[in-house]
Amino acid sequence: MTYQELVQFLNQHLGYPFLEDMTPEAALRAAQEDKLDDALTAEVLNSLYQGNQCQSANDPVDRAHSFDGLAHLRLRTQADDADPLLFRKVLKLSQELDNAFDQELIRQRNAAFK
């Protein structure tokens, strides 16, 4: 799975506007230039990109590097004084991130058996 595919999956499954009306590449560019209105989205886009050491939106990503990239965000939202709404958004993000890689694995296994 590529960075772009992962971000598109998250956009479709998070249940809240993630990319708004932008492509993954445009949203990443805006996040890198600190031009996104949603700080959480900007942090997630940048963290996933950097955690996977991507050079472009077409670079491959994996589960371990993606979760490593989000580790600081996840720990921060688990603090006792964290905003409950932010905690729920990051929890949903973590669940859907895991789901994205599970679905990719299922797709790959199905393709191997055809």
pLDDT for 80-97, tens place per residue? Answer: 899 999 999 999 999 999
Contacts of 73 (CB under 8 A, 6+ apart): 43, 44, 47, 90
How far is 20 from 31, CA to CA, in rounded Å?
A: 13
Q: What is the pLDDT of residues 61-79, one digit of tens each?
A: 999 999 999 999 999 999 9
Closest CA to 53 of 61, 63, 43: 61
Count the neighbouring beta carbons within 10 Å of the beta carbon of residue 100.
22
Structural domain count of the chain: 1
Give the domain extent around 15: 3-113
Predicted pLDDT of residue 100: 97
